[in-house]
Amino acid sequence: MTIWEADCYRRPLRDEAQNPLWELLICDREFHFTYGATAPQKAVNSQWLQQQFAAARQKAPQPPTEIRVFRPQSVSLLQAGAQPLGLVVKPTRFTPTLKQWLVQRAQWYQSQPTYSGEPYEPVALERPAPVPIPESLWGEQWQFASLSAQDFQESLVHEPIPFPAIPAEWLPLRLGLPSTAAIPGVVIDAGRRALPLCQWLQAQQPVALNYQAGPPDGVLLESGLVDRWVLTTFEDAQVTMAGQTFRDRQQQAKGLHFLLVRPDDSGMTFTGLWLLRL
């Protein structure tokens, strides 16, 4: 599977006529392949992008299976340029190689004669305030939990689960975590609401869970490209300690964690499982 990561957006650069310059950057996950092009803002359209994608595809060792884009303002534009070539653009926050490249280039721009001097945050996005998930979807009870990397990968992921979202490249043993490493998670016992809750989660495209210190303390669900949801809030000291342990284990597990939805706490049936990563 060949993954490209791409961004097309305004940079702190201007041409000789003082027109703002936009830049298209493309790289693969290993940073073995890169492609870049700039143009005045008025020239950046689907036709220009189609030409650039065609040139990048010709230069690359092999065409991409998908092109991942993290910036909401770039998604539809890049889709319009990629679609005529049969290229698939996937919105996702997880474009680590590209983001690192953008941060590095932010320093390089300052040395260029076209540098405008305007404020520039290479990977910052406007994010709406978190909102509570619909009350009609909330389950009967929830808890912080953890599973060993081995139990997660060799047992849980093989259960019959109607709503699985488990990227193979994020399986803990594939990431080099020891089999005894604790993979933290949040488990929701949703009762009769398990199915509609999972349908709603699937539509939101969960990205990560974050323990948020209060008061009150809470758990935030990051989803889509910039959306945030208040999964739950609490003021119990023991739950707070569990939340802090959850956060510590996330860091120890290379950001890995999970969200599990089940109809009850019998441990016999599961409705949805999302393997997430910070």
pLDDT (tens digit per residue) in 80-98: 999 999 999 999 999 999 9
pLDDT higher for 267 or 137?
A: 137
Q: Are residues 145 and 216 in the same domain?
A: yes
Domain that holds residue 73: 3-109
Q: Which residues contact 229 (CB under 8 A, 6 or more apart)?
A: 130, 131, 132, 133, 204, 220, 221, 223
Residue 265 reports pLDDT greater than 80 = no
The predicted structure's pLDDT at residue 258: 97
Q: Are residues 58 and 176 in the same domain?
A: no
Q: Identify which of 22, 77, 27, 21 has the alpha carbon closest to the alpha carbon of residue 49.
A: 77
Q: Is the omega angle on the peptide bond into residue 216 within 30 degrees of 0, that is, cis? A: yes
Mean pLDDT, the chain, whole residue set: 94
The predicted structure's pLDDT at residue 214: 79
Q: Which residues contact 51 (CB under 8 A, 6 or more apart)?
A: none
Share of the chain above pLDDT 70, in %: 100
Q: How confident is the model at residue 266 (pLDDT cuts 50, 70, 90)?
A: confident
The predicted structure's pLDDT at residue 270: 93
Would residue 188 count as lying in a domain?
Answer: yes
Would residue 84 count as lying in a domain?
Answer: yes
Query: Tokens for 271?
Result: 């409705």
Q: Is the omega angle on the peptide bond into residue 215 within 30 degrees of 0, that is, cis? A: yes
Q: How confident is the model at residue 138 (pLDDT cuts 50, 70, 90)?
A: confident
Angle in degrees, CA 168, 171, 177, rounded to 5: 150
Q: Are residues 143 and 273 in the same domain?
A: yes
Structural domain count, the chain: 2
Q: Are residues 45 and 91 in the same domain?
A: yes
Domain ends where: 75, 109, 143? 109
For 207-252, what is each residue's pLDDT tens digit? 999 999 878 999 999 999 999 999 999 989 999 999 999 999 999 9
Q: Are residues 94 and 221 in the same domain?
A: no
Q: How confident is the model at residue 67 (pLDDT cuts 50, 70, 90)?
A: very high
Q: Is the pTM of this model over 0.95?
A: no
Would residue 98 count as lying in a domain?
Answer: yes
